[in-house]
Structure 1
Amino acid sequence: MPWVAPLSGKSVSLSRRTIYMLPTRHGFMFSLLLFVLLLAAINYENGLIYALTFWLASMAMISMLHTHRNLLGLKISAGPCAPVFAGESARFTLILKNELALPRQGLSVLVDKNEVGRVDLGAGEQGSVTFPVNARQRGYVDMPPVALLTDYPMGLLYTWSRKIELHHRCLVYPKPGPARPVVGGVDSQQKRELGTRSEGDDFIGVREYQAGDSPRHVDWKAAARGQGLQTKRFGGDARSIIWLDWEALEGIDTETRLSQLCRWVIDAEADGMIYGLRLPGREIKPANGEAHRHQCLEALAMFGH
């Protein structure tokens, strides 16, 4: 119903004013059957057919009450959404909470009139449905409007909710660019490139090979054993401070710069390096760790927004 305002908020609860009911195809056929049985009972004055007709009609009425109750009072909210890179799919989670002492069965979640999940809830239980949304560009992608539908228990009628617009979104990092040596400042006595070995460094492990890695650091023995191409990682006590600088990437457009800086942040963190980020109007001091990685990638994602 496009003329009906959607429900909106961080969480919503379905009331009588926000759910609707119509017969299904089977429901229309069932109604036709009742009409034929009633005509037969009247025509033949048959008490048994009368009894069957009214018994089936009472079952339909009970089904109507259960179908309506299946959505009534249901609470809907959104779960956390992990950041993704542009070009990937954001995974949104819809949380359904049943506060009744009765179960709710056959709850379908719809996005753009397409079913993306189905869940059954026991008495007082909570369930969730996760569905993907394409994240085409950096920034934020909003959770699309959803609706709930059920035809439980007999499939004679179906009840659906208004569209639900939850105030929830997912952060989208820039799409990582190709692997290439860092062009920027290195604050240390020894300059080094991302992923290369400095004198005195110790072997600390391997990572998946990326285009641009030096052949001297490829683990050829592992490749000969059929383990694929891997690049050796080295580290030392005196780690370089790498500055990932916007101004070092001249002559290319904004989105390409952001993609390349995104790649450097990922690689610097994977190599255990200390790195900072310089953008027009913002500077993130050198550090490392998952929180620092997220801070840098978030700054790239929201650049210009």
Structure 2
Amino acid sequence: MATTLWQRFERWVMRGQRPSNDPVQLNRRRIYILPTRQGYAFALLLFVLFLWAINYSNSMGFAFTFLLAAVALNSMWQAHDNLLGLILHPGCAEPVFAGQDAQWSFRLENPDSRPHYGVALQWQNRPPQYVNLPAQGSATVTLAIPAERRGWLRPGRLRVLTRYPLGLLQAWSWVEFDQGGLVYPQPRGQRPLPAALPGSAGSGLGEQGLGSEDYAGFRPYVPGDSPRRIAWKTAGRADQLLVKCFTDQARPELWLDWRLLGIDNLEPRLSQLCQWVLKADSDGRQYGLRLPGLQIPPGHGAVQRRRCLEALALFIDSEGISRRHDAVEPEQPAQARTAG
């Protein structure tokens, strides 16, 4: 019952607030205050003291009761001002795999000329992370948010709160940002890497690899190629960059193909492909990725690994239709929605 009432109150508060792409400054209309458990116990104590003072007509009892009430009212004012004016900047998170915790970093800025103590950020029911903000300074708060499935992960509503100075009252505000972090499929699967074929289709290399002695012509540049192999003299005359090919160290190319997996369900297929990408990258292999409607040319290195993992994270299988891999970057999550 209490949880349902709280959720209704939260929806009522957030009804006019939309996810923001810009920093949010806490004003008076966004800050709410309620007693904590200790605050309710303190209020009960004041009521008992007040009844005792009335029953015995004790002036010292009245003075003591009113003094404690004044302290509580003053702590309410300080708790409110401890959040007033603070600026919360949108967070960011590095890509993670499904099943891991995404580490979201948010920056709290204090434009005031006095410090603010005991300010915290909280995600859902997880323990709040407290920081102290120096005068006209800032602090970074990191929240661990579970990434349950691949695609774009958005932290949703965050609570900025404080119980300063006495812990009798809690002042808080809700904020929500539109930025998202990318979640790769969970790497799972026991199948070995498929066999690599020399001169695989789509590479344009044939048996001409990345050797260093016998010159064998040019091929189009793909991300991950060494800058030393680029034909810079022809760069101004051609529409695209060309890379010099040599034949003494030919490398067979490895294709990680969707069609090689006879798995009916979507997610197990993507998990196996993700496992293959990580294995091929750790082995230093030249590999490409084929998905329905999408083909990533063979390459190697960090750029190739990121491109393949992003394609798997954003892939949507709907009658052979897939989302274009390079249409959305992690810095622009508003143009993509979580797949899977």
Which residue, 74, 78, 82 being the options, matches 1:62? 74
Kept in 1, the 8 Å contact 2:121–2:129? The answer is: yes
Residues in 1 aligned to 2:134 and 2:14: alpha-carbon distance in whole angstroms: 30
Which residue, 160, 168, 176 being the options, matches 2:179? 168
Which residue, 3, 27, 31 being the options, matches 2:12? 3
Residue by residue, what CA displacement relative to the aligned partner does 1:213-248 show, whole Å, maximum 9, x if unpaired? xxxxxxxxxxxxxxxxxxxxxxx9433332222233
Residue by residue, what CA displacement relative to the aligned partner does 1:2-50 show, whole Å, maximum 9, x if unpaired? 322264312322111111112334334444555636973996574x666
Residues in 2 aligned to 1:148 and 1:264: alpha-carbon distance in whole angstroms: 42
Match of 1:136? 148
Residues in 2 aligned to 1:30 and 1:250: alpha-carbon distance in whole angstroms: 66
Alignment of 1:1-305 (within 5 A): 1=9, 2-5=11-14, 7=17, 8-10=19-21, 11-31=23-43, 34=46, 36=49, 40=53, 44=57, 46=59, 52-161=64-173, 163-176=174-187, 177-178=189-190, 180-183=192-195, 185-187=197-199, 189=207, 237-250=249-262, 252-304=264-316, 305=339
Q: Give the unaligned 5+ runs of structure 1.
A: 192-235
Kept in 1, the 8 Å contact 2:198–2:251? The answer is: no
Residues in 2 aligned to 1:33 and 1:250: alpha-carbon distance in whole angstroms: 69
Residues in 1 aligned to 2:89 and 2:304: alpha-carbon distance in whole angstroms: 29
Residues in 2 aligned to 1:18 and 1:32: alpha-carbon distance in whole angstroms: 28
Amino acid in structure 2 at the alignment position of 1:174: P
- TM-score, normalized by length of structure 2? 0.66
Q: Give the unaligned 5+ runs of structure 2.
A: 1-8, 200-205, 210-247, 317-338
Residue 75 (structure 1) shift: 1.5
Residue 57 (structure 1) shift: 4.0
Amino acid in structure 1 at the alignment position of 2:176: E
Query: Which piece of structure 1 moves more, 264-273 or 132-141?
Result: 132-141
Q: What SS does the aligned partner of 2:83 have? A: coil
Kept in 1, the 8 Å contact 2:20–2:177? The answer is: yes
Residues in 1 aligned to 2:131 and 2:180: alpha-carbon distance in whole angstroms: 23
Residue by residue, what CA displacement relative to the aligned partner does 1:126-185 show, whole Å, maximum 9, x if unpaired? 223323333232212221321122110012222121x32211222111122235032464
**How many residue pairs align between the two structures?**
259
Q: What SS does the aligned partner of 1:132 have? A: strand
Residues in 2 aligned to 1:289 and 1:41: alpha-carbon distance in whole angstroms: 80
**Greater share of strand residues, 1 or 2?**
1
Q: What SS does the aligned partner of 1:87 have? A: coil
Q: What SS does the aligned partner of 1:292 have? A: helix
Kept in 2, the 8 Å contact 1:183–1:244? The answer is: no
Query: Which piece of structure 1 moves more, 142-151 or 288-297?
Result: 142-151
Q: What SS does the aligned partner of 2:296 have? A: strand
Residues in 1 aligned to 2:36 and 2:114: alpha-carbon distance in whole angstroms: 24
Residue 294 (structure 1) shift: 0.6
Matched-pair identity in %: 41
- TM-score, normalized by length of structure 1? 0.73
Amino acid in structure 2 at the alignment position of 1:133: I
Match of 1:222? none
